[in-house]
Amino acid sequence: MQKYVPSLPVLAAMCAMATPTHGDEIRTTLADQTSVAVTIYNQNLALVKDSRAVTLPGGTNQLAFRGVSAQMRPETALLRNTSVADNLTVLEQNFDFDLLTPQKLLEKYTGKDVQIVRMNPATGKESTATAKILSTNQGTVVRIGDRIEINPSGRYVFSNVPDTLRDEPTLSILLENKSRKAQNYELSYLTGGLSWQADYVAELNSKDDGLDITGWVTLTNNSGAAYNRATMQLVAGDVNQVRPQFDRNVRRGLEEMKMSAAPQMAQESLFEYHLYTLGRPTTIADKQTKQVSLLTASNIPVKKELVLQGSNYYYGSSHGDIGQKIKLGVFVQFENREKDGLGIPLPKGVVRVYKRDSSGNAQFVGEDNIDHTPNLESVRLKLGDAFDVTANKKQTEFKVRERIVKQNVFDSSYEIEIKNGKKESVNVIIREPIPGDWTMLEESARHEKVAAGTAQWRLSIPAGSSRKLTYTARVKY
């Protein structure tokens, strides 16, 4: 059965008739908003503080707070009177997020009568029939008189909109008010649908020993609400949302947290996280991605490394040839410290690296993710694999020295040949993870034991040439 889709005129007529009526409630809309502050976390979570000027009669009132996030967590909502705190007592609150649509309206009228207006195509005259909606599942089934019709044509006319439907997300609050004067109210709540991430653009210099970097904050708003001229703050860090006391801590800190103004993104410590504040108001529209400048730094010293990363599987048996034309990873590393032009906590994100070609055009050379990086830590990026520098690796000898119940002892020898097809010399790092209790018996170049299970060699390979590393290791399991 084909699903009924109302025509545009039908939709227009249905929505035009859909003016919600909710008794004697008092509505506050975005027109009453005096300020809004949004603190966004990395994990699809935001704290919204929406301030509005509202005049309420004395006594018990039903206040409809319209224009809130469709993904509000209602259990975190907190309304307070910022003019005189004692003037307000919240008795009950309900979050209405069942939004008004033609389909929802039809569903709510299942089992009820509506009017269907039809036009006679021959005469152009309209007639009205009373129809009872029987079902809206995969189409509309109605009873008109003594017959059943499926997806009848015409305009649907409804007498009203059910109180359970809203044309936009609304927090309905039953409260006791002691003052009849205009008051300032602040609604604070946690919501999903808002997230941010850091994106970085870096450009290497011609010698690959320095880079310029620009950081951007990318905001995404799918919360179902807009935040006009909002004071925006970002929290970098992994906040645990499971702890029950988190919501209480947020509420307790609402009055204490102040919005600091700065000409650019200012950062400060907040508990075990970092808080970034945009120094100007910004509008975060619904269904929008926005980028805001985070940082800019120039001439940061960089170390470039070509790394051949080995494996530990071939130290316990005979393998012979291990690999031909093995690719070497290309890494760049820099320090997050003030003397090198940085020294601020870097939020996790993607670093995209560019380099200019001989014509001066910036070309993309790779990207990598970084985690939250505090001051004085290193940033290490893998940009790809080398094209002109390759390695051939083979096991040249394998001997079983001992086989006893609790321990095996093996001697194995290896040859690694690094070939450099570039027009300049390169420095290469060979890193071998060796299992068990190991000892280096022989080697053509001196290794460095960088970890308990890792041997590392540094070799310089002349332009258009090659160099071999040979070594023999004794491994005890």
Domains identified in the chain and CATH numbers:
110-157 (no CATH), 194-298 (no CATH), 303-336+378-476 (2.60.40)
pLDDT mean over 196-202: 93
pLDDT (0 to 100) of residue 444: 97
pLDDT (0 to 100) of residue 191: 96
Answer with the residue of higher pLDDT: 403 or 354.
354
pLDDT (0 to 100) of residue 272: 78
For the chain, the average pLDDT equals 87
Judge whether residue 156 has pLDDT over 60.
Answer: yes
Q: Is 57 exposed, middle or buried (0-12, 13-18, 19+ CB in 10 A)?
A: exposed
Tell me the percentage of the chain whose pLDDT exceeds 70.
89
pLDDT (0 to 100) of residue 250: 38
pLDDT (0 to 100) of residue 169: 87
Q: What is the pTM of this model?
A: 0.70
Judge whether residue 11 has pLDDT over 90.
Answer: no
Answer with the residue of higher pLDDT: 3 or 135.
135
Judge whether residue 32 has pLDDT over 60.
Answer: yes
Answer with the residue of higher pLDDT: 12 or 149.
149
Judge whether residue 21 has pLDDT over 90.
Answer: no
Judge whether residue 58 has pLDDT over 80.
Answer: yes
Tell me the percentage of the chain whose pLDDT exceeds 90.
69
Judge whether residue 17 has pLDDT over 70.
Answer: no
pLDDT (0 to 100) of residue 204: 97
Confidence of residue 23 (pLDDT cuts 50, 70, 90): low
Answer with the residue of higher pLDDT: 254 or 378.
378
Judge whether residue 35 has pLDDT over 80.
Answer: yes
Judge whether residue 25 has pLDDT over 90.
Answer: no
Judge whether residue 13 has pLDDT over 90.
Answer: no
pLDDT (0 to 100) of residue 22: 53
The C-alpha atoms of residue 405 and residue 410 are separated, in whole angstroms, by 14
Answer with the residue of higher pLDDT: 239 or 316.
316
**What is the side-by-side strand order in the sheet with 362-370?**
288-301, 210-221, 194-204, 349-356, 362-370
pLDDT (0 to 100) of residue 405: 59
Highest mean pLDDT among 11-20, 230-239, 320-329, 399-408: 320-329
pLDDT mean over 319-328: 94
The C-alpha atoms of residue 297 and residue 72 are separated, in whole angstroms, by 38
pLDDT mean over 414-436: 96
Confidence of residue 6 (pLDDT cuts 50, 70, 90): very low
pLDDT (0 to 100) of residue 40: 94
pLDDT (0 to 100) of residue 242: 52
pLDDT (0 to 100) of residue 166: 82
Q: Measure Cα distances from 396 to 35, 107, 262, 400, 414 in Å.
A: 73, 77, 64, 14, 5
pLDDT (0 to 100) of residue 104: 86
- How many residues are recorded in the chain? 477
Judge whether residue 321 has pLDDT over 50.
Answer: yes
pLDDT mean over 87-98: 87
Confidence of residue 407 (pLDDT cuts 50, 70, 90): confident
The C-alpha atoms of residue 343 and residue 370 are separated, in whole angstroms, by 16
